[in-house]
Structures are given as C-alpha cells and as structure tokens.
Chains A and B, each alone.
Chain A
Amino acid sequence: MSFERSGYTNPRSTLPQPPKPSNPIRTLSILFLVLLAFGGVALAQGATKINLGLDLRGGTSVTLQPKVQPGEEGRVTPESIDQAVNIIRQRVDGVGVAESEVSAQGTGTNRQIVISVPGETGRRIIDLVGQTAELRFRQVIIETTDAAAKDLLDDASLPAGITPEIAEQFRTLDCALTAERGGGILDDPAAVMVACDRDGFVKYLLAPAEVLGTDVSGAQAVYDATTALGWYVSLDFSSEGGKKFAAVTSQVVNNPSPQNQLAIVLDGLVVSAPRINEAITGGQAQITGDFTQLEAQDLANVLKYGSLPLAFERGEVQQISATLGAEQLDAGLLAGIVGLLLVILYSVLYYRGLGLVAVGSLVVAAYINIFAFALLSEWIGFTLTLAGIAGAIVSIGITADSFVLYFERLRDEVREGKSIKTAVETAWIRARRTVIVSDVVSLIAAVLLYIFAVGGVRGFAFTLGLSTLIDLLVIFFFSKPLVVLLSRLKFFQRGATLSGMSPMSLGLKPAATKEVSNGQTS
C-alpha cells in the first residue's frame, strides 16, 4: 500500500526473473550486529544471570488446595483465594527469605496456591503456610508509633492483666524488622497480645479478643457521595456477634484514646484500629476514615474472608536440599553439553564441510537461548527448571532437523545435476516450506503442552517453544546465508571430498560429476 508512495516498484511485476540471490554477507553481518546488540541489551539490563527454579537451587515449594466441604463450594471464589494469597504472602514475607513467591494458579474452584521459598528447607515454611487465617477484634491498650520505644511500661504499675513478661515482650519488639513483626502467629484469643501493624510502623498492646472473625457475617466497601464520608467499610455481624460487638463497643466508647480503639487483627497483624465513636448495638457498623477505594476494598476483604477463612490442604510439598539442587543443575548441564557434542560430531562426520554450518547454527542458537533466558529472567521472572533444561536439550534435535532438511534437499538438487550455486537457492525454496511447517507444528505443540502441562513440567514446554522460535531465526538468517557464502568457495564448488558436496559422496556417476563441475544442467 505504501509501496507506491515510497516509489517502490516490483521488478517481477513487469518481467519474470529468476529468484534474486540474497546477499549473504549483508544478512550475516546484520545478524552478527543484532546478536551483539542483543547481548549488549541483556548486559545493560543487568540480565547477567538466569533465574534457577527450586529444583536447581534447593528450597521448598508447597501447593495448597482449598479444602471444600460438601455444600460449601461457593466459598472458593477468586476473591477468597486472592485474600488467602495475601495472608500467606504476609506470613512468608515474615520469614524474611528473599525471592519467595506466593501465587494463585488455575481457574475457578480448581485454583491452588503455590508457595515457593528458595533456599529454605526447614519445616518452618510448611507449618507456616498451612495454618488457617484467624480474624479477631481486640481492644487497644497501648498504641505507639515509636516502634523502638523501650520505656513504655513501668513494671511497678502495670495495668490489670499485664504480666511483666508481656511488658518485656512489648518493650523489646521492634516492628521495623520483618522477622520480628510476627505475621502468621496463631494468637490465643483469650490472652493479651503484642502486635504490629502490617507495615511495621505502629506497635500495639492488645486486650483479649471479645469478638472473633466468625461473628462477622459480611463486609462491603461503600462510597457515600452525598456526605463527606467518601469511601468507608460497612460491616455486618451475625446476631450473636452483634450482641458481643454491642457489649465491647459500649464498654470502650468512653475510654481515653487509644483505649477507645478496637484493633482488627488478622493472622497476628493489626490491619486497622478504628476508634469507636458510639456504642454499636444494631449489629451493623461503619468504619470510616480517609480511605481510598483500594484501601476500603482491602479492609472489606479482610473482614469478609478473614472471617470465613478457607481451609487448605497440602496438595504437593517439595523440599529440595541445596545439594540435590546443585546435582540436578550439574546433571542437566552435563547432559546438555554431551548432547550438543554428539549432535555436532554426527553432523561433521556425516555432512563434512556443511557440518560446519550445523555447528555454527547450534552455537548461535545456544547463544541466543542463553541470553533470552537471562533477559526473560529479568523481564518476566522466567525461571529455568530441570524440565526446562530438558526442553532446551530436546530442541537441539529440532534445530538440527531444520538443517538436515535443507542439506538433504541441497544434495538432492545436486544429484539432479544442478550446479551447487543454483542448488543452494532452489533447495532453499523447497526446504523453507517444510522447515516452516515442521517448526509451526512443534510450536503449536509447545503452546498446547504449556497450556495442558500438569505438575512442575510447564518449563519444558516453554523452553521447547522458545527454542523452536530461535531455530526459525537461525536457519533463515544464519544457516542459509552461510551455506550461500560457502557455496561460493572453490572448495565447495569443485566438490572437494571433505566439503560434504563431493559428487562421489552424493553417489553421482562420473558422467554426472562432469555436469556438476561444468555447472550445467541437462
């Protein structure tokens, strides 16, 4: 469409011409520059390492399945799973291991939560993630924004119910440290507790829980446009819960600050500690404040799903020691290197001079693969697993198949009596179609495998698909131009024994040999 404007005219539209031979040196130089730039971008992006999966570096991974009682299927919703993911993430973050991941996988009621913690293989993680989240309402006794404050309680004049041990615990707790924040602690509702808020800015001493999460029947984020309220959270209690809530609110409402606040504690961390302005007797409460929409929705979710905690069971647990991880990595790499060497050896023995093209193609493909892995690690959090390494190794066969197809076609064309120079182009036109078809088939397969993969073998499909794409790139922009270039060498044109194109090795009769060396076609 833009051809005319740019003054481009297709010469073939007026005169049928033989296929214009491409300029192999230009293609190869461009490819070389692109590859250098690619490596440069990878290094500039800081993508210098490939993320390794847990099976290659050691660590713990746990898959949790929602445990659904008959008749309660409706409980498992995307929201409740997301809420569970958040709670578990909080707990895992509390352990303080870098690069821990908590995510939901699957769809609908088949969603699972996958937790992976690299480098940790103790029992701590597994115990931590399996617990059920608990929501409690506790009256605030002391609130301080000075997380490191040490001089808060005088042992001589402790409030009722506070032991010197608790006082000491309260003084020494440093909420600024994730490891001390204590998310995931299953607190005893009947006891006084020391807690931090989620972000570690505020430290609380809290009274025993009067109202539990099970007393909440619903919560919603509501926007009030008419008054100045803005976003707030509306909270509904069960009839039993409403009575308990009425009792506790009428008890605290006249206290001095901060003892007129009621902390909402989820999983050992204070989510919010609203001030009680009046005794709430109707079984319905509103939590107001300068909430953004997101904050209001988050709090509503905590109240709603924290009160209906999903129970989970362990679907799959994997604990891989660092030693085993290193062994798997070594074995995978060794298998890859041996596999690559075997293919190279076979190609050179069978195809001689052309085998060099095969070797070069495999090396270029390996180069692109490694940098692609590093870049994808950086960009989309790609992790290389043992199955992924297997996929990359298997793809050596697919890459090799592309030039086997081309080389065999090339040799067929020469057998038909074409000169090597012509054969290189005509064989390419025929082989190209098959190469594309076969790569497309294996690409479709890789995508399907990725979709249908179960267990931890998805990485296989990913690297297989990626390597297939890279193969297309390599055969078009490296292997083919290189063959064209080589075909211009005397060594190949006269069909030297070691070129892989010698008439003898192709099984041509002496008569046919002449045809080839004269460059004639009969």
Chain B
Amino acid sequence: MAKRHEVGSLGGRLYRGEVSLDIVGRRRQWYTVSLVLFILSCSAFFFKGLTLGIEFKGGTVITVSSTQADATNARQTLESLPFINGLIVQELGSDKVRIQTDALEPSELNEVQDLLASRYSIALETIDVQAIGPSWGEEITRKGTIGLVAFLVIVVIYLALTFEPKMGLAALLALFHDVFITVGIYALVGFEVSPATLIGFLTILAYSLYDTVVVFDKVRENTKNITQVARLTYSQAANLAVNQTLIRSINTSIIAVLPVASLLFVGAGLLGAGTLKDIALVLFVGLIIGTFSSIFIATPFLASLREREPAMIALAKRVNSRGGGESESAPVQRAQPKRKKRK
C-alpha cells in the first residue's frame, strides 16, 4: 500500500514538475552510454557475427522422444553415418533429444530417421523433423533482407509524413539505435536468429516507434507557444514532457513485458527452442532497449537538434536571464516556478 501511494504521488509530482528527473539535461551521459553500446554492438557484429538458424542457412533438426535417448547415445548413433556434418545434439527435458545437422539429401534424411527409429525402437511417425534445403535458406535470407529494408524505408516515410522534420530525425535515430543494439546483443550472446526472430524484431521497431510518438506528442503540446511564454527553454519543456509521460512509459513497458515474459519463461520454458522462444526473446530484449531509447535517446536528441535553432538559443537566453541564469538544463529544484503558479 505504502509503496503504491509513493508511486502514485510520484506520478503526480512528476506531472506538476515538482520532482523532475533531469533526463534531457544529462543527455551527454545517455549519448555516451549509447555510443559505448553502439561500438560494442558493431564490434560484436563484425568480429563474432550473428548465429543464423537453420531456416537461413539450410539444415535439419530432428527431435526424438524416447526415455532411452540421451545426447551421448544419439551422437554415437549418428556419428557412424559418413554424410553427417555440423552435428549438434541437445537434451530437451528428460525424454527428448534434439539433433541438428547441416542440410541432408532426401535419401540421407530417410536413412537418419530409419536409424533413429530402430535404435530407440520408436515409430517413424513420432519423430519430429524440420528440414531446410540449402537453396531455400538463401531464399529466406533474401526475403528476410528485403523485408527488413522495406520495413525501415516505409517507417522512414511514415515518420517524414507525420512528424516535424526534426522529430522524425530523432525518432529515426532512436530506431537505428534499437536496431544496432539488439543486433549487437544477439551477436554478443550468440542467440540464434530465425524468421520468428526477424518478425519479432520488426514488431519491436513498431512498438518503440509508437512509444516515441506518445512522448513527442507531449513535447509538441508543451512547446507549442514556448517562444511567447518564455518561461521554459526548449530543453526544459521537453524534459517536462518526458517526465510527464514517464509513468505511462514505464507502465506500458511493464504491461507489454509481462505477457512477453510469460511467453518466454512459460511457453519457451516448456517447449525449448522454437518459434515461441525466438519471438519472445527478441521482444523481451527489444522492449527494454526500445523503452530506454524513447526516454533517454529520442527526446534528448530532439532537444539537441532544436536547441541549435537561433530562436531557441535566444529563448534560452531570455529564460536564463529571467530565472537567475543557470545552465540550459533544468535541475530538480528549477521547476519550482510552475508549482508557485498553482497556488
């Protein structure tokens, strides 16, 4: 109870600007954090590369359900076959073994299935198979790349049409920030990339985008007559907007993460590798990065851009000379004037 009241009242105080997290003012810190992440991501991507799933490179995954099967004996069984390459054997739970190999010819696949069926005395019908031909993998990679690029192009067009140019630029930067860092995390940790990962990833871009839309809406509202009122600098007004939408951003992210976490830990926990895990994992990683970027990157970057405009520089001068002349940012106590006005 007590905690809830605190959160609730924090929301109120954030809204009125009594408490203000100086997000826009400290933008250099966030830029540094992001730049470090960006460099790490790029080096992970170029030096380590992404781990592509069999959908992209071709390959075969066979799952055998038998209490007799374990990783060791499955490996022994298959190593006797001359055509097996790139063998990876994993145990799933107590009675399943997942066997992955490079792409097999149809006759080779039949041989593997027959061998496993007789080794564990199970019916052929109970063996689960996913086999991707090498040229199919190329096709999927081609389509996936086209999809990603086309998606980004359409998003850029959307941004250009709906936002002020500088807002569009800032949203775009936040978007690329999300793309690079998610890719970097995937490269660094070695998570597998499948078509499900790709579609989850694109979903996150959309999600992060509309998170940014909500904050920018508020920025636009707060800065509408900013030069006439001359009470806040652009940065201060933008910071107020971030603070005002902070609770909403956090709540939305928590609520979005909850079902995704359920997918990841319940669904993928029960099933192991597969569609659910791939979608849920990328959403989980991406949601966190997307929330970070819409709070800490998009708006601060927008403020950086706008503060360069002559009108905004002049405004900052006027505001600063009036309010006791401090730095352009709005430290915690500086939002006091707004509160006075309420009384």
Do B5 and A65 have beta carbons less than 8 Å apart?
no
> Given that A349-B4, A454-B140 are contacting pairs, would A335 and B267 also be in contact in the complex, using a CB cutoff of 8 Å?
yes
Most buried by B among A126, A314, A330: A314
Contact A507 B10 (CB under 8 A): yes
Q: Are B16 and A415 interface neighbours, CB within 8 A?
A: yes
From B8, B133, B259, contact of A396 by CB (8 A)? B259
| Complex CA–CA separation, A319 to B132 (angstroms) | 12
Is A455 a contact of B150 with CB atoms below 8 Å? no
A411–B135 Cα distance when bound, in Å, is 56
Q: A327 touching B133 by the CB < 8 A rule?
A: no
Contact A457 B209 (CB under 8 A): no
Does A222 lie at the interface of the complex (its beta carbon under 8 Å from any beta carbon of B)?
Answer: no
| Residues of A participating in the B interface, judged by any CB pair closer than 8 Å | 55, 63, 65, 110, 121-123, 126, 130, 313-321, 323-324, 327-328, 330-332, 334-336, 338-340, 342-343, 346-347, 349-350, 386-387, 390, 393-394, 396-398, 400-401, 404-405, 408, 411-412, 415, 433-434, 437-438, 441-442, 444-445, 448-449, 451-457, 460-461, 464, 504-508
Which residues on B sit within 8 Å (CB–CB) of A334?
266-267, 270
Q: Which of A328, A393, A461, A507 contacts B199 (CB 8 A)?
A: A461
Distance in Å: Cβ of A354 to nearest Cβ of chain B: 12
A321-B128, A394-B260, A437-B217 are known contacts. Are A506 and B8 too (CB-CB below 8 A)? yes
**Interface stretch of the complex, out of B43-51, B234-242, B249-257, B320-328:** B249-257
Query: Interface residues, chain B, CB within 8 Å of chain A?
Result: 4-5, 7-13, 15-16, 55, 63, 65, 106, 109-110, 113, 124-133, 135-136, 139-140, 143-144, 146-148, 150-151, 154, 158, 194-196, 198-200, 202-203, 205-207, 209-210, 213-214, 217, 244-245, 247-248, 251-252, 254-263, 266-268, 270-271, 274-276, 279-280, 283
Nearest A residue (CB) for B257: A397
Contacts of A332 in B (CB 8 A): 267, 276
Q: Which residue of B lies closest to A388 (CB)?
A: B275
Nearest chain-A residue to B258 (Cβ)? A342
* CA distance in complex: A323, B244 (Å): 51
Say whether A508 contacts B12, CB under 8 Å: yes
Contact residues in B for A449 (Cβ distance below 8 Å): 151, 199, 202-203
Closest residue to B202 on the A side, CB-wise?
A449
Whether A504 pairs with B203 at a CB distance below 8 angstroms is: no
Among B106, B199, B262, B263, which residue has the most Cβ atoms of chain A within 10 A? Answer: B199
Query: With A331-B266, A445-B205 given, can you name 16 additional A-B contacts, CB distance below 8 Å?
Result: A121-B126, A123-B113, A315-B132, A323-B126, A331-B270, A331-B271, A335-B263, A397-B257, A397-B258, A438-B210, A449-B202, A453-B147, A453-B199, A457-B198, A460-B279, A504-B5
Complex CA–CA separation, A387 to B203 (angstroms): 13
CB-based contact A65/B196 at 8 Å: no
Closest to A392 in B: B259
CA distance A448 to B133 in the complex (A): 27
Q: Is the CB of A387 within 8 A of B196?
A: yes
Chain A residues with Cβ under 8 A from B203's Cβ?
394, 445, 449, 460, 464
A234 to chain B, nearest CB (A): 37
Bound-state Cα–Cα, A130 to B275, Å: 27
A320-B13 contact given A386-B274, A393-B263, CB 8 Å threshold: no
Provide the bound-state CA to CA distance between A168 and B196, in Å: 54
B11 touches A460 (CB 8 A): no
The answer on a CB contact under 8 Å between B276 and A390 is: yes
Docked Cα-Cα span, A219 to B150, in Å, equals 41
CB distance from A56 to the nearest CB of B (A): 11
Check if A65 sits within 8 Å of B270, measured CB to CB. no
Does B267 contact A401, Cβ atoms closer than 8 Å? no
Q: A507, B8: Cβ atoms under 8 Å? A: yes
Give bound CA distance, A123 to B125, whole Å.
8
CB–CB A390/B280 < 8 A: yes
Contact A437–B248 (Cβ < 8 Å): no
The answer, among A65, A338, A394, for a CB contact under 8 Å with B283, is A394
**Which one of A110, A316, A444, A460 has the highest number of Cβ atoms from chain B below 10 Å of its Cβ?**
A316
In the assembled complex, the CB of B246 is this many whole angstroms from the nearest CB of chain A, namely: 10
A400 proximity list for chain B (CB < 8 A): 252, 255-256
Contact partner, B135, options A65, A340, A451, Cβ 8 Å: A65
If A334-B270, A342-B262, A346-B258 touch, does A408 touch B144 (CB 8 Å cutoff)?
no
